[in-house]
Structure 1
Amino acid sequence: MADTRDLPPPPAALIDGASLFLDFDGTLVELANRPDAVAVDAALGRLLAGIGAQLGGRVALVSGRSIATLDGFLASHGTALGMVGSHGAETRLAGGAIERPERPAALDAALDLFTDRLGGRDGVVIEQKPLGVGVHYRLAPEAEREAHVLVEDFARENALDVQHGKMMVELRLPGHDKGSAITALMARAPFAGHRPVFLGDDLTDEPGFAACARLGGAGILIGASRETAAGYRLPDVAAVHAFLRTAL
């Protein structure tokens, strides 16, 4: 991994003719204290639609959120994009059906346990996903250690994976990540045969950056400098929007 202090901003030409993959929280929209508190305005909807048209449909959101949740944020803007949800476990090409494995019963047990142990804590949000359970503690940072121990113990006992993020920890299905999802999409139309570029801000995006590098493309880290597999960096969400507008 490279040190982001040495990373330049991405050149505008990077996304010309590319297959573009975009994280959602912290990349396209500002992080919020609660996962349901983010907002997608009409300007962002138009920007995404314009980028999709400019790149011939070679645009996909790649998020830890479920595809259904992403649809809820974007549906009112009429934006038809490819989507990867649940950290790579769900995939839907634009206009297609959602492809996902079956939800294991252990996730239902985890939801009950996490809700019982932490759900009543002020500031803690338990998020149910089709193929995961997230514990958000942005408003209750003192719950960090307890949340991590609870999730990690359950994952170890039930052969599930742990995903660490910004002020959250998530239990999820093993065998998938954003890198594996991008790699799979790059073997399918309309993405195949084009340079992959992925924008993301979190540790969960690192497998996506690494996959793009292996496939001859690049990752763009959003936010503060840190060790990363990305080749470029932008400082914040506003800079992402400005960069994407250069492609129109």
Structure 2
Amino acid sequence: MRRWREQLQQERGFQVLAGKKVLEILPLSVSKSAAIQEILLLPGFLGFFPIYLGDDITDESAFLLLQGRGMTIRVGGSRNRTAASHYLPDTKAVRHFLALLAVPPEDL
């Protein structure tokens, strides 16, 4: 497996990211952070405050990109080994957080 990963990275120009129960194989120029950068440049998203939730090592590039530009939330796992600015322990906490976001400000 290690040799296969090295071959993909060195000879084929791919990155291999090991996540929870998944291997993401991407061209070197592609990442979640690259996709977010493109989205944030679209006219409909200018001036928006992004909120990004993730639960895997593959989300760390997005957490890094959005530092100081949005809210990043690590879900589960270690709160010490992340670039996310906030932490939620599980999906139940995520549901509660999203429910709070759906409440109109005047009702808070």
Shorter-chain-normalised TM-score: which range? Answer: 0.7 to 0.9
Counterpart check, 1:219 vs 2:69: no
Compare CA radii of gyration and give the structure with the larger one.
1
Partner residue of 1:161? 15
Partner residue of 1:179? 33
Deviations 1:76-124 (A, max 9, x none): xxxxxxxxxxxxxxxxxxxxxxxxxxxxxxxxxxxxxxxxxxxxxxxxx
Displaced runs of 4+ in structure 1, greater than 3 A? Answer: none
Q: Which is richer in helix? A: 2
> Structure 1: where are the runs of 5+ without partners?
1-145
Deviation at 1:197, TM superposition (A): 1.5
Partner residue of 1:204? 58
Q: What is the one-letter code of the residue matched to 1:210?
A: L
Deviation at 1:150, TM superposition (A): 2.1
Deviations 1:189-227 (A, max 9, x none): 32210112110011110111111115x212100002231
Deviation at 1:242, TM superposition (A): 1.3
**Is the 8 Å Cα contact of residues 185 and 192 (structure 1) preserved in structure 2?**
no
Partner residue of 2:105? none
Structure 1: how far apart are the matches of 2:40 and 2:25? Answer: 27
Structure 2: how far apart are the matches of 1:156 and 1:171? Answer: 13
Please give the secondary structure, in 1, of the residue aligned with 2:10. helix
Partner residue of 1:239? 93
| % identity of equivalent residues | 34
Which of 1 and 2 has higher RCO (CA within 8 Å, sep 6+)?
1
Deviation at 1:154, TM superposition (A): 2.8
Structure 1: how far apart are the matches of 2:22 and 2:3? Answer: 12
Structure 2: how far apart are the matches of 1:171 and 1:178? Answer: 12
**Is the 8 Å Cα contact of residues 8 and 15 (structure 2) preserved in structure 1?**
no
Deviation at 1:173, TM superposition (A): 1.6
TM-score (norm 1): 0.38
